[in-house]
Structure 1
Amino acid sequence: MTEVLPMRPEQFPLNRECPFSPPKEYREIREEDPIARIHLPDGKWAWAVTRHEDVRTVLSDPRFSADRTHPDFPVLASGGRLRPPEEKVEKSLISMDAPEHGPARRAVLGEFTVRRMEALRPRIQEIVDERIDAVLAGPQPADLVRELSLPVPSLVICELLGVPYSDHEFFQEHTATMVDRMSSGQARQEAVRAIEDYLSDLIKLKEDAPGEDDLLGRQILKGREEGTYRHEALVAMAFLLLVAGHETTANMISLGTVALLENPDQLALVRDDPAKTLPAVEELLRYFTIVDVVTARLATEDVELGGVTIHAGDGVIGVGFSANRDPEAFENPDSLDLERGARHHVAFGFGPHQCLGQNLARMELQIVIDTLFRRLPGLALAEPLEKLPFKDEAAIYGLYALPVTW
C-alpha cells in the first residue's frame, strides 16, 4: 500500500480551499487510498478513514476505543494533548468505552429527549426574538456572530445547565483557546483547567441546595438518590456539555446564514415553506461538517477494514468531512441541496457516541433560520464572501465575525 499525503505533520487536518469546499486531498485519499497513513503533529502516524461506510464502521465497532486518556490515542492539535499524559483525569462520556459508557450516557440521556427539547422550544424562540430585536435596534452593519450566533446557544446551554450567563465571556474565551489547533499545549491545558475549576466551584454551590430547575441540580439529586453521585463525574459531564453546547451550534448558525445568502434559490425553499427548514438543517450540517475529524479512535485488536489490516495499538482518524462528501453516500455531494434528505450524515457522529445534544442543536438551528429570514427579509452580507474571517485554524470551523445589513 502506498503512503499518501506527503505533508508536514502540522498540516492535518488541512485547511479548506474555500468556505464551502473540503481540501482536494480528502477527495484524493478517498478515491485512491481510502484508508491511508497520515502524519500527526506529534510525529506519530495514524490511519485516515475517509469513506462514509468505513467511518460509520469505526464509530460503531467496539474494537475501536474512544479512550482519550490512553498514551497512544492519536492527537491532532499541534500543541499536543489537553492533558499531560501523566495526569490522572476523570473520563468524560466521549472518552468512555463499554461497559462503562452505557450507564454513564443513560444517566443523562433523558435530559435530551425530543420531548424535553420540544418543551424548551418556546423559551428558545423567545431568546432568538430577543436577540433579533437587539439587532434591529442597533446600527448597521451588525456583527451577527456577536449579536446572534454566539448568544443564542450560549444562553440556551447556560439556562439548561444552570450556569450564569453573565460568565459566558469567560468560558467562550477559554473554549476558543481549546479549539485553536495552533495554540500551545500549555495554553490549551490552562484553558481546560480554568473551565473545570469554574464548574467545580459552581457545582459545589449547587450541591448545598440542588433543585429541579436545571440539569446540574437534577443530576445531583438523581445521583444521590441512586447512590451513584460523584462530584468529579458531574464536573466532567458539565464541561463536555458546556463547551460542546455553544461552540458548535454558534458556528453552524453563522455558516448556515452565509450559505443561504449565497444560494438564494435554496433560501427561497425555506422562506416559502417552513416545513422544509428541518431537512435543510440536516443538509447544512452535512455540507459544512464543521469538525473535519468526526472522531479519533485507537484499535484494541487487529481489524480488517476496507482491505487494510489495522493493527492493535494503531490510531484511527475518521475524516467526517470526507465521509459527508462521499458520492457513494450522497449524490452530487459538493452541491448544496436542501431537499436532499441527508439525515444519514455523520456530522453528529454515529453509533454509541453519537452527539447527546443533537436534538437541541437541530431545534436551535431551525428556529434561528425560520425567525431570522422572516424578520429580516432584506438580510445581506456587508462584506464580500472572500473577505469574511473564517476560522481556518480552529478545530471547529466557523466565522469570527459576520457583518450584515438588512
Structure 2
Amino acid sequence: MSETTIGVTSFPTTRDSSCPFDPPAEYAELRAQEGTASLACPVGVNARVVSRYADVRAVLSDPNLSSHAAPSTHVVADGQLDRPVAPGSLLHMDGPDHARLRRLLTPEFTVKRIQAMRPYIQGLVDDHVDALLARTGPVDLVQDFALPIPSLVICELLGVDYGDRDRFQEQTAVLIGTNSDPEALQRANAEVVGFMTQLVLAKMAAPGDDLLGRLIVRARENGQELSVEELVTLGITLLIAGHETTANMIGLSTLALLRQPDQLAALRADPGLAGTAVDEMLRYLSIVHFGVLRQATGGVTIGDETIKAGEWLVAALSAGNRDESVFPDPDRIDLRRGATAHLAFGYGIHQCLGQQLARVELQEVFARLHQRIPTLRLAVPFEEVEFKDHALVYGVRALPVTWDVEDDR
C-alpha cells in the first residue's frame, strides 16, 4: 500500500484538538499499511516512520542506527542534522563513547539508590499538597505543584542550589521548543551553559556527595577523568531531562485522569494502584510525542524491508504505545493494564537512564495528590486548557484547578 493510497505524505505533527491526549490519527493509518512510509519532515528530509511496536523496538536496539541527530530534530524546521556531537552529549552519542559515559552514570540511578530517595520525595509531595490546601483555590497545578517537585528532586540529586530553579526553568523551556526564536534560543543556550559551567567548576574543585561530585570522583578513580565540557553537557542533559519530562507528566496525567472519573475513582480508592497507573499513563500519553530520529550507518532490516546507509528513520514512540496487537483497546486508559513494556522511556542502549527516578516521583504524586484532595477538579472549561503542541515534550502550559474547602488538611 503506498503513501498516496493511505493519504499520509508528511510527518504528522498535529493532534486533533478534540482528542488532545491521542497521537495524530495518521499513525493508525501508518500501522495498518505494509512496510514503512517515507514522509517529508519539517527539517527538510524524508524519513521512514516506524509505527508498529515491534518495529520501534527493533529500530531503537539496532547498532547500525545512529542517534547523532536525536532526539526529535526532524520536527524542527531549521534544525541541524549534521551538527557535530558535543563531548558528553549522551543522547546523541553512539558506540564506545556512549557506553563509557553510561557506565559512569549508571550507579547513580540504580533501583536501590532511587528507592533511598523515596522518603524525601514523599515529603516533597506532602509539603506541596499542604501548600495547596492552605489556599482556597483556584491554583495553577503546573506552577505550584508539577514543576517544583521534580525541580527540587533533580536539584537535590545534582547538587544545584534550588534558588537557581527559576533561572534554568525559563531557559530550558526555550531550548525544547520546536518554534523558539533563534535569537532567544541562542541566549537561552548561553545562559544554561554559563550556569552549568560555574556549577561544574565548583564541583571539580570540591566534589560533594551529590551526583556531579560522585561522578567526578568515580571518573578520576577509573582513570577516565571527565572534561569540563563533558560535565557541562551531561549536567544540562540531566537537569532538563530530570525536571521537564516529569513535570509535564504530572500536569498532563492529572488532566487526563480528571477526564476519566471511573479510573480516577479507582486510584483514589486504592493508592496501591499507583505503580501500574504510572506505567499506563506513561504508555497512554507518550510525552516525547514526535518520536526519536535515527540514521542508518549500515544496512538495516525492518520487517521485510532493507534500509540503506544514510537513510533516516523516526521511531514513533506514541504510535508503538498505541499498537493494538500489544495493548488491546489502546486508546482507553486502564490503570490495571500492567503496561510495563511501554516505549515511553525508549528502548535499547539509549533507554532513559532516569526512568526509575521518574517512576518513583510519579508514584508518590499518584498515591498522594488525589487521596488528599479527593474533590480536585478543573477550574476552567477543558477547552480553555492550552497544550504544548510545539514542544518536544508534550504537556499543558497551565492547569487551573480547585477543590472543596472541606478536603483533608
Fold in common (TM above 0.5): yes
* Correspondence for 1:216: 212
* Correspondence for 1:314: 311
Question: How big is the shift at 1:67?
Answer: 1.9
Letter in 1 for 2:44: G
- Partners in 2 of 1:63 and 1:152 — Cα distance? 38
- Partners in 2 of 1:254 and 1:236 — Cα distance? 27
Superposed CA deviations along residues 234-259 of structure 1, whole A, max 9, x for unmatched, are 11111111000001100110111112
Counterparts of 1:122-141 in structure 2 under 5 Å? 122-141=119-138
SS for the counterpart of 1:75 is helix
- Partners in 1 of 2:85 and 2:244 — Cα distance? 26
* Correspondence for 2:224: 228
Unaligned runs of 5+ in 1: none
* Correspondence for 2:246: 249
* Correspondence for 2:3: 3
Query: Contact 1:253–1:365 at 8 Å: present in 2 too?
Result: yes
Letter in 2 for 1:77: V
Query: Contact 2:35–2:305 at 8 Å: present in 1 too?
Result: no
- Partners in 2 of 1:100 and 1:312 — Cα distance? 21
- Partners in 2 of 1:134 and 1:79 — Cα distance? 42
Query: Contact 1:34–1:51 at 8 Å: present in 2 too?
Result: no
Question: How big is the shift at 1:283?
Answer: 0.3
- Partners in 1 of 2:184 and 2:304 — Cα distance? 40
SS for the counterpart of 1:404 is strand
Distance 1:298 1:398, change over 3 A: same
- Partners in 1 of 2:340 and 2:179 — Cα distance? 32
- Confirm whether residue 13 of structure 1 aligns to residue 13 of structure 2: yes
Runs ≥4 residues deviating over 6 A: 5-9
* Correspondence for 2:58: 57
Letter in 2 for 1:20: F
Match of 1:332 among 322, 329, 332: 329
Superposed CA deviations along residues 329-359 of structure 1, whole A, max 9, x for unmatched, are 1100011111111111100001111101100
- Partners in 2 of 1:61 and 1:190 — Cα distance? 36
- Confirm whether residue 77 of structure 1 aligns to residue 73 of structure 2: no
Q: Percent identity?
A: 47
SS for the counterpart of 2:221 is helix
Unaligned runs of 5+ in 2: 404-409
Distance 1:16 1:111, change over 3 A: farther
- Partners in 1 of 2:217 and 2:66 — Cα distance? 31
Superposed CA deviations along residues 205-261 of structure 1, whole A, max 9, x for unmatched, are 11121122x101111122222221222211111111100000110011011111221
Query: Contact 1:79–1:184 at 8 Å: present in 2 too?
Result: no
Query: Contact 1:16–1:392 at 8 Å: present in 2 too?
Result: no
Match of 1:271 among 250, 253, 268: 268
Which stretch of the first structure deviates more once superposed, 13-22 or 382-391? 13-22
* Correspondence for 1:94: 91
- Partners in 2 of 1:80 and 1:193 — Cα distance? 18
Letter in 1 for 2:75: L
- Confirm whether residue 172 of structure 1 aligns to residue 169 of structure 2: yes
Query: Contact 2:293–2:313 at 8 Å: present in 1 too?
Result: yes
Question: How big is the shift at 1:16?
Answer: 4.4
Which stretch of the first structure deviates more once superposed, 192-201 or 248-257? 192-201
SS for the counterpart of 2:47 is strand
Match of 2:111 among 95, 99, 114: 114
Distance 1:243 1:35, change over 3 A: same
* Correspondence for 1:386: 383
- Partners in 2 of 1:337 and 1:348 — Cα distance? 19
**Considering only aligned residues, what root-mean-square deviation do their CA atoms show, in Å?**
2.0
Superposed CA deviations along residues 156-200 of structure 1, whole A, max 9, x for unmatched, are 001100111111112111111122111244433442332122101
Query: Contact 2:140–2:399 at 8 Å: present in 1 too?
Result: yes
Query: Contact 1:79–1:188 at 8 Å: present in 2 too?
Result: no
Superposed CA deviations along residues 118-153 of structure 1, whole A, max 9, x for unmatched, are 110111111111111111122410110011000000
- Partners in 1 of 2:43 and 2:155 — Cα distance? 35
- Partners in 2 of 1:12 and 1:167 — Cα distance? 37
Instruction: Give the structure-2-normalised TM-score.
Output: 0.92
Count of residues paired in the alignment: 399
Letter in 2 for 1:321: S
